[in-house]
Structure 1
Amino acid sequence: MNKIKVLFLCSRNSARSQMAQAFLKKYGNDKFEAYSAGLEASEIHPLTIKVMEEKGISMSEQYSKSLDIYLNDRFGFLITVCSKAEKECPFFPGVSIRLYWPFDDPAAAKGSEEEQLEVFRKVRDQIEKKVIDFVENTDKYSNIKDNFRV
């Protein structure tokens, strides 16, 4: 069975899209090939790494990437996970289905490290739930053409 390529896009590829990519690798590896990028690349936020490790997921293989490296690729899904990416990337060539999953930016959290961690955990758990639902309900997307699969 061919896997469906999924690109998660956010503003900096430091938290939300990285979490979504990691969760799709965990829950949908038999059906999907997961990628992530940002409108601008930055470093993966240290608290992203920490909260994902709490779920037993290592981020050591992931790194921040700019959207530019994927402009000539084809994806079954482009999933924007922040309003900035949704607004600033109104069109992306080579995508079969586009979805918008708006999540708060945990990197914008203020306060003590523990207060920031709580925000990261909340967003992480929301993303995990959304990814699980996506994996479990992909049958409704059976119209993805073979040339959008790997």
Structure 2
Amino acid sequence: MNLYPTLQTHIEQAQTLPISDERKAILQVLIDYVQQKVDHNQEISLNFICTHNSRRSQFSQIWGKVAAAYHSIDINSYSGGVEVTAFNERAVASIKRFGFKVSREGEGNPKYFVFFSDDEDPIVTFSKVYDDPANIPKGFAAVMTCSHADENCPFIPGAEARIPVRYEDPKAFDDTEKEAQMYDTRSMQIASEMLYVFSRIK
């Protein structure tokens, strides 16, 4: 797999970021889930869930898929929320800065086709509820990426595992001089942690 050069550089940077023991303990639950699937030669499906499916869950869907592919692990990567908004344009701008190639289709809540390699199909992203027909209906792990969704959705139909991996919301920095920096910081953290998760799979 030939990653786009700018993206390759950012992945190499992400792999050098330190991950605290506390975060490693959180991520271990996800590692164990994926490893169990690999051990039993079962399909791996992850649905990253956040309230609006606009920022953190989108970053996680994208980086989860790329990190798995980087480590030669085949997964289905989805995302969803509890209400429909749109893939936030600030988050879209951030993934472009990381070297993804992005095309857009539609208005309002457009579909984005996110390319990370000319050798791979694009990741298709848009804001949707977690049980949207575009997502797998059962046999997946619900990875809860925000506290609101984690606390307000005690039951995710069809999920065989529920794994909290919460991230701070870059939305707090919207329309400030730190906006781009904080979106990129959160994206880089998620990249780093997803790369760590799939690097641990044997």
**1:98 equivalent in alignment to 2:141:** no
1:94, CA displacement in angstroms?
Answer: 2.1
1:138, CA displacement in angstroms?
Answer: 4.1
2:95 pairs with 52, 56, 59, which one?
52
1:96, CA displacement in angstroms?
Answer: 2.2
1:19, CA displacement in angstroms?
Answer: 0.5
Q: Which residue identity lines up with residue 23 of structure 1 in the other structure? A: W
Q: Which residue in 2 is equivalent to 1:40? A: 83
TM-score, length-normalised on structure 2?
0.62
Distance 2:136 2:57 in 1: 20
Cα distance change of structure 1 residues 111 and 49 upon mapping to structure 2, 3 Å threshold: closer
**1:22 equivalent in alignment to 2:62:** yes
Equivalenced residue count is: 138
Cα distance change of structure 1 residues 48 and 75 upon mapping to structure 2, 3 Å threshold: farther
Distance 1:78 1:138 in 2: 19
- Map Cα deviations across residues 93-146 of structure 1 (whole Å, 9 max, x no partner): 22222211111111232453x41111111111111111112222345xxxxxxx
Cα distance change of structure 1 residues 79 and 138 upon mapping to structure 2, 3 Å threshold: farther
Distance 1:79 1:138 in 2: 17
* Aligned pairs (5 A) from 1:58-77: 58-59=101-102, 60-61=112-113, 62-69=125-132, 73-77=137-141
Distance 1:63 1:3 in 2: 23
Cα pair 2:67 2:191 within 8 Å, conserved: no
**Matched residue SS, 1:126:** helix
**Matched residue SS, 2:100:** coil
Task: Identify unmatched segments of 5+ residues in structure 2.
Answer: 1-40, 103-111, 114-124
TM-score, length-normalised on structure 1?
0.81
C-alpha RMSD of the superposition = 2.1
Distance 2:132 2:98 in 1: 29
Q: Which residue identity lines up with residue 91 of structure 2 in the other structure? A: T
Between structure 1 and structure 2, the one with the greater Rg is 2
**1:87 equivalent in alignment to 2:87:** no
Cα distance change of structure 1 residues 5 and 12 upon mapping to structure 2, 3 Å threshold: same
Calculate percent identity across the aligned residue pairs. Answer: 24
